[in-house]
Amino acid sequence: MERPANQTRWQEWITLFLGAWIFISPWVFGFSGTEVSAWNYFIVGAVMFIFSGVAISNNESAEWVSLVAAAWLFISPWVTSLAAAGGARGDAVISGILGVVFAAWGLAQHQRRTIAMNR
């Protein structure tokens, strides 16, 4: 049985908290002084947090934005030279993978619900 359209999926909540984690990571890992890397985390974290919040209201487009932001986070250590920042590289890779997985999962559920509603 399909859930009502206004019932949120837990994947969006995970992505929301993941966005918050990404935003505070520069302070946790001590690389907030490295401008490019820290700003990358601040922007990606804020984007994931905001758009996951919007996705909670069943907005599929917002979920796509979170997916793209998470994919960028995954590749960003090699683009922004984050490799020198200790645990920050691993955090970017793991958080990026988790963000992509949960955003894609949320999108897949949204698509299934849309298909079921159109039958």
**How confident is the model over 14-31, as pLDDT tens digits?**
989 999 999 998 888 887
- pTM across the whole model: 0.77
Radius of gyration in angstroms for the set of CA atoms belonging to the chain, rounded to a whole number: 15
**pLDDT, tens digit, for every residue of 48-106?**
999 888 887 767 788 889 899 999 999 988 887 765 566 778 888 899 999 999 989 88
Q: Are 22 and 32 in contact (CB under 8 A)?
A: no
- 3-state DSSP call for residue 69? helix
Question: What pLDDT, on the 0 to 100 scale, is given for residue 87?
Answer: 74
All structural domains of the chain with their residue ranges: 10-117
36 or 41, higher pLDDT: 41
